[in-house]
Chain A
């Protein structure tokens, strides 16, 4: 379900920003407009939908308009034109009072440099949003303590922000945002000021939290690795405009243009791709209704020396080898159940390719990709290698679907 719908959202900085709007309609670039009018285009006709419960990442180089865009969503920056629909209300046209209610109830923000109040204790920082809403002391305290517990900061209530490390301060920022129990979290480069190891921890923690809380998160970053790690969908911005929106896989495999391609180039693909992106259509036999001759015939057709055996419902039984099947045929047997080997390399659909590689290098047979114990695909070394070198990969589960029918 769509939570936020953004339509043609535009922000132009400078005096009489309307002057730039007609130029933008003529598809003039940010540079041309700056030269002609002295106005800076912050965000250029951005349109997108954010679904309820998803982590929507906005990514782009510094100056591409990410911070401006996210601030247009809660109107910390007034839009020049366009609309932001939250459920069905247009934020861009709200009066101050309604806007305040939305900010208090529906969306909270986490800032790059934490934006904590240095003179307030951790507890009182986290209570800020509740205090603004006019909640009673007791309720405030209780909610703040819960929020601090969520981010693992019990026992720090009475300290001041300066006394905590950067990572801990950002947890306070997150707790402050969560204390309001908002449906939407806006996070502007929330982890960018942290050093890499702490950053990874925070990403993991956010994902863990998201598992249970299922908020709609709009997460800004300039770091593709971070975007790929946490984004359900990723938007790429350049010069204020949206260049591409897609799932991490789509962005990696089908970059919309050179700009996105440049971004994507140095990603460590093995961490991003999972088994389902590199698996191939599996040949299989069903010992319940097919004998060794059928199996051999099928292997001959596709030029392979072993084949996976499955039940009618595709539950994986194991693998059989051509040499052993031939022996059975020579002996005149019709049932090959006894030669099925069950010690096959198995991976799940979502196993990262980096782990898949370890498994298949030690194995003489292709790895089986399973989902709930059912065979979905196989992975052979060459398809992994070609995926890592940037060639075609599978974007969805069409392979397994075509065979499972």
Chain B
């Protein structure tokens, strides 16, 4: 026998979700926006001829990620392999999901991080929320995403944003807070307005840290693609998911390798930007 009746937590959450689903208009607007971003990204990427991609990205890697010959060749061969396996289309779809999630995470996350850095109260409230967001199993994000946005690419993006955004917020906050007091005092002592201080001193000083957050956000979004395919997101993740369902080790492995290649390229490119900025 239970000493206490169990709390109706599940009912509360359902009630909340009920209420939120009524805010239809808002969610429809969000969905439209996301689908616009996705289509735009896909269209742009599809316009670029594949050979240009396969040659251009390695060059970009070479110049931005420390002029490493080995890495450049790897990127080239990797992209070549993805195309060769016939995954190009699926890769672009996956990429548009990841990029859309990243763009939204940055556009929402950086201002949130700035806000958090300006107020200790906001930081105190946000920190546990961010911890919570990152420690929940990834699958859990699918539930609200599906509840509000149904199935398809858009809820996949939403789930990726929720899962992937915390590092950007966190590191924006950290980056701004760790700027040395003397530099901040210098900005103030010369009569900066708060926004001059933010744009001319704090954000430039925090840039590398913020970029590290964005890099993590990209990686986390990418790690969501297979899971997002469970709620109907297309792309490479879907191929893996389907292969798991059919117990088709071969094609699952192929698609998995393709995802890893994309992950490595994105990681090197974005951490390459960081390096470059540090040196500058």
**Using a CB–CB distance below 8 Å, which chain A residues touch chain B?**
71, 74, 76, 100-104, 107-109, 111-119, 128-129, 131-133, 176, 180, 186
The residue in chain A whose Cβ has the minimal distance to the Cβ of B186 is A115
Q: Given the complex of chains A and B, what is the CA–CA distance between A114 and B280 in angstroms? A: 20
Q: Give the interface centre of B182, B188, B190, B204 by most chain A CB atoms within 10 Å.
A: B190
For residue B193, CB closer than 8 A to chain A, the reply is yes
Q: Given the complex of chains A and B, what is the CA–CA distance between A109 and B186 in angstroms? A: 7
Q: Give the interface centre of A100, A102, A112, A176 by most chain B CB atoms within 10 Å.
A: A100
The residue in chain B whose Cβ has the minimal distance to the Cβ of A180 is B190
Determine which of A101, A111, A113, A119 lies in contact with B280 in the assembled complex, contact meaning CB atoms within 8 Å. A119
Determine which of A74, A111, A186 lies in contact with B182 in the assembled complex, contact meaning CB atoms within 8 Å. A111
CB within 8 Å for A104 and B191 given contacts A119-B280, A131-B200: yes
- Those 6 A-B pairs whose CB atoms lie nearest each other, nearest first: A104-B191, A103-B191, A115-B186, A115-B182, A109-B189, A129-B190
The residue in chain A whose Cβ has the minimal distance to the Cβ of B185 is A76
Q: In the assembled complex, which residues on chain B have CB atoms less than 8 Å from the CB atom of A107?
A: 189
For residue B192, CB closer than 8 A to chain A, the reply is yes
For residue B54, CB closer than 8 A to chain A, the reply is no
Q: Once the chains bind, are B182 and A119 in contact (CB under 8 Å)?
A: no
Q: Once the chains bind, are A100 and B193 in contact (CB under 8 Å)?
A: yes
The residue in chain A whose Cβ has the minimal distance to the Cβ of B196 is A132
Q: Once the chains bind, are A128 and B190 in contact (CB under 8 Å)?
A: yes
A102 to chain B, nearest CB (A): 8
For residue B205, CB closer than 8 A to chain A, the reply is yes
Q: Once the chains bind, are B191 and A101 in contact (CB under 8 Å)?
A: yes
Additional 4 contacts, C-beta under 8 A, given A132-B190, A133-B191, A186-B189: A76-B188, A100-B193, A113-B182, A115-B183
Q: Given the complex of chains A and B, what is the CA–CA distance between A49 and B192 in angstroms? A: 28
- Give the size range of B's interface with the partner: 10 to 19
B252 to chain A, nearest CB (A): 46
Q: Give the interface centre of A71, A100, A115 by most chain B CB atoms within 10 Å.
A: A115
Q: In the assembled complex, which residues on chain A have CB atoms less than 8 Å from the CB atom of B183?
A: 115-117
B115 to chain A, nearest CB (A): 20
A162 to chain B, nearest CB (A): 11
Q: Once the chains bind, are B185 and A117 in contact (CB under 8 Å)?
A: no
Q: In the assembled complex, which residues on chain A have CB atoms less than 8 Å from the CB atom of B189?
A: 74, 76, 103, 107-109, 186
23 contacts between A and B (CB under 8 A): A71-B185, A76-B189, A100-B192, A100-B193, A101-B191, A102-B191, A103-B189, A104-B190, A104-B191, A107-B189, A109-B186, A112-B182, A114-B182, A115-B185, A116-B186, A117-B205, A118-B205, A119-B207, A119-B280, A128-B200, A131-B200, A132-B191, A176-B190
The interface residues of chain A, by DSSP majority, are classed as mixed
CB within 8 Å for A132 and B280 given contacts A115-B185, A115-B186: no
The residue in chain B whose Cβ has the minimal distance to the Cβ of A111 is B182
Q: Once the chains bind, are A100 and B191 in contact (CB under 8 Å)?
A: yes
Q: Given the complex of chains A and B, what is the CA–CA distance between A128 and B189 in angstroms? A: 11
Q: In the assembled complex, which residues on chain A have CB atoms less than 8 Å from the CB atom of B196?
A: 132
Q: Once the chains bind, are A119 and B190 in contact (CB under 8 Å)?
A: no
Q: Once the chains bind, are B186 and A117 in contact (CB under 8 Å)?
A: yes
Q: Given the complex of chains A and B, what is the CA–CA distance between A119 and B189 in angstroms? A: 19
For residue B201, CB closer than 8 A to chain A, the reply is yes
Q: Given the complex of chains A and B, what is the CA–CA distance between A103 and B191 in angstroms? A: 5
Q: Given the complex of chains A and B, what is the CA–CA distance between A361 and B7 in angstroms? A: 98
Q: Given the complex of chains A and B, what is the CA–CA distance between A107 and B190 in angstroms? A: 8
CB within 8 Å for A103 and B280 given contacts A115-B182, A117-B183, A119-B205: no
Q: Given the complex of chains A and B, what is the CA–CA distance between A180 and B182 in angstroms? A: 19
Q: In the assembled complex, which residues on chain B have CB atoms less than 8 Å from the CB atom of A74?
A: 189
Q: Once the chains bind, are A119 and B204 in contact (CB under 8 Å)?
A: yes
CB within 8 Å for A103 and B182 given contacts A117-B201, A119-B204: no
Q: Given the complex of chains A and B, what is the CA–CA distance between A188 and B191 in angstroms? A: 18
Q: Given the complex of chains A and B, what is the CA–CA distance between A397 and B192 in angstroms? A: 48
Task: Give B166-181 interface residues, CB cut-off 8 Å to A.
Answer: 180
Q: In the assembled complex, which residues on chain B have CB atoms less than 8 Å from the CB atom of A104?
A: 190-191
Q: Given the complex of chains A and B, what is the CA–CA distance between A71 and B189 in angstroms? A: 9
The residue in chain B whose Cβ has the minimal distance to the Cβ of A133 is B191
B44 to chain A, nearest CB (A): 31
